[in-house]
């Protein structure tokens, strides 16, 4: 099961906290984690293994969107900062659209991510 992890700068600490709270669920359910570059560096600090893509503004969101379209990524946790502007907004919109097209669960906040992670086991 491949899980993509992405967090805007203002949400990276929140993502790390969420991952730490759910460390055992992620470790025990054989979840393979991919992440955008900078977020991936934060994920590594939790002790979870992660495959890092490019950073979001340099194409990482688009790389993950491609994996969604290819059927490789099964779930996406993208903690977005809705109060900040992002220069790579077209890539973000594409990722979210492809999650809808391919029926891939997408959590944009910890409450939704908690509901999804509870179904892992």
Mean of pLDDT over the chain: 93
- What percent of the chain clears pLDDT 70, i.e. is strictly above it? 99
Q: Decide: 23 and 47 in contact? Cβ < 8 Å.
A: yes
Q: Where are the domains of the chain?
A: 2-120
Q: Is the predicted pLDDT of residue 12 greater than 80, yes or no? A: yes
Distance, in Å, from the CA atom of 42 to the CA atom of 99, rounded to the nearest integer, reads: 24
> What is the tens place of the pLDDT at every residue in 88-102?
788 899 999 999 999
Distance, in Å, from the CA atom of 108 to the CA atom of 82, rounded to the nearest integer, reads: 10
> Of the candidates 73, 82, 91, which has an alpha carbon nearest to the alpha carbon of residue 31?
73
> What is the tens place of the pLDDT at every residue in 24-57?
999 888 899 999 999 999 999 999 999 999 998 8
Position 121 scores a pLDDT of 63
Mean pLDDT score, 9-27: 94
Query: H or E segment at 25?
Result: helix 23-28
Q: Is the predicted pLDDT of residue 120 greater than 80, yes or no? A: no
- Fold annotation for 2-120: Rossmann fold (3.40.50)
Position 68 scores a pLDDT of 98
Q: What is the pTM of this model?
A: 0.94
Residues with catalytic roles: 61
């Amino acid at each position: 099961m491949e899980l993509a992890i992405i967090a805007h700068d203002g949400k990276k600490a929140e993502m790390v906290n969420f991952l730490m709270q759910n460390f055992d669920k992620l470790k025990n359910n054989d979840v393979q984690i991919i992440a955008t570059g900078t977020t991936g560096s934060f994920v590594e600090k939790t002790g979870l293994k992660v495959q890092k893509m490019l950073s979001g503004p340099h194409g990482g969101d688009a790389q993950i969107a491609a994996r969604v379209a290819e059927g490789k990524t099964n779930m996406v946790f993208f903690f977005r900062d809705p109060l900040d502007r992002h220069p790579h907004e077209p890539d973000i919109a594409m990722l979210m659209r492809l999650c809808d097209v391919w029926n891939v669960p997408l959590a944009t906040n910890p409450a939704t991510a908690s509901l999804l992670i509870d179904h892992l086991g």
